[in-house]
Amino acid sequence: MQNRIAVAGAGSWGTTLAILLADKGHQVRLWVYEKELAEEMQKSRENKTYLPGHRLSDNINVTSSIKDAASDSEIIVFVVPSHVARGVIREISPFVSKDTIIVSATKGIENDTLMPISDVFKEILPKPFHKNLAFLSGPSFAKEVVQKMPTAVALASYDRKAGEIIQQAFSTDYFRVFTNSDVIGVELGGALKNVIAIATGIADGMGFGHNTRAAIITRGLAEMTRLGIAMGAEPATFAGLSGLGDLVLTCTGELSRNRTVGLRLGKGEKLKDILASMKMVAEGVKTTKAVYALSKRYDIEMPIPNEVYYILYEDKDVKQSARDLMNRELGEE
């Protein structure tokens, strides 16, 4: 079944999902924030800024008008950075019908309110729309998906039928979607793993080895799970695709922006210089601040994200952070 689908956000992941959906025969309208980029993409049929080398099919209409993209769409795929999510949700809301299914692929936590993106949607959209919200997460580098390498992801939804509609709309012979009912768990896995990825990058940049990386991933997963449980998530979700799966990918993959930030910090670069040189957003930088605040709110012990916070926002020396982590009071696993 073919659908009218709007994709809001034309970074590498948004563009990749637009290509995937168009290749399945869906009619896709891709909303691009930058008017100049939208015009260039419409002419060249390529996103040379964020996903060079991959042609946009004829099924994709590129526009800088959010109204043109969202109006009459049966499905809206939301792929914008978390720090602008609230504003874009407000812009889209007038064009959402009672039958529109919204799929969020945004990974992050709103810094000012400490809300997961699901709560931001529920705060802005009227209650009858909430059952049509779904959240896509899991180990999926855009570059590998657009090259049609086998990938498996998780899709959480409040309503089973809505989840199954999206599962069918997105799944291909190289992109497999598994449904899940734990919205907060899937969301938190996708957000928190970016903070742990910065930590593993720092360790790699300092020249530490596989032992260190394995320790950070494993203990990081335990800390992610602790916070998730406190916020109402199911523990088992963190052992799945949106938890352990995404964590391993982001902490070890060369394409990980968050690991790259950590890698450069571990080699002695300053955060402001790293961010100034990056085209795309490393969500973990902002998420670290939110996770630090959430750990205090829920009184959850999260030493790894805390040290990342001190490095990013208090300019703590990375060597001192490593020493402090290793010299914490001994205890049970």
- Nearest alpha carbon to residue 283 among 191, 189, 185: 191
- 129-140 pLDDT, tens per residue? 999 999 999 999
pLDDT reading at 124 higher than 80: yes
* Average pLDDT score over residue span 241-264: 97
CA distance 86 to 69: 18
For 205-231, what is each residue's pLDDT tens digit?
A: 999 999 999 999 999 999 999 999 999
Cα 128 to Cα 92: distance, rounded to the nearest angstrom: 16
Question: 0.75 exceeded by the pTM?
Answer: yes
Percent of the chain with pLDDT over 70: 100
Write out pLDDT tens, residues 281-326.
889 999 999 999 999 999 999 999 999 999 999 999 999 999 999 9
The residue from 193, 267, 270, 272 that is catalytic is 193
- Residues 140-151: pLDDT tens digits? 999 999 999 999
Would you say residue 182 has pLDDT above 80?
Answer: yes
pLDDT higher than 90, residue 85: yes
Long-range contacts of 171-179 (CB under 8 A, 24+ apart): 172/20, 172/23, 172/24, 174/145, 174/148, 174/149, 174/150, 175/20, 175/145, 175/151, 176/150, 176/151, 176/152, 177/136, 177/152, 177/153, 178/152, 178/153, 178/154, 178/240, 178/241, 179/154, 179/155
Which residue is listed with tokens 């910065």? 198
pLDDT tens-place string over residues 63-79: 999 999 999 999 999 99
pLDDT for residue 165: 97
Has 193 been annotated as catalytic? yes
pLDDT at 1 over 80: no
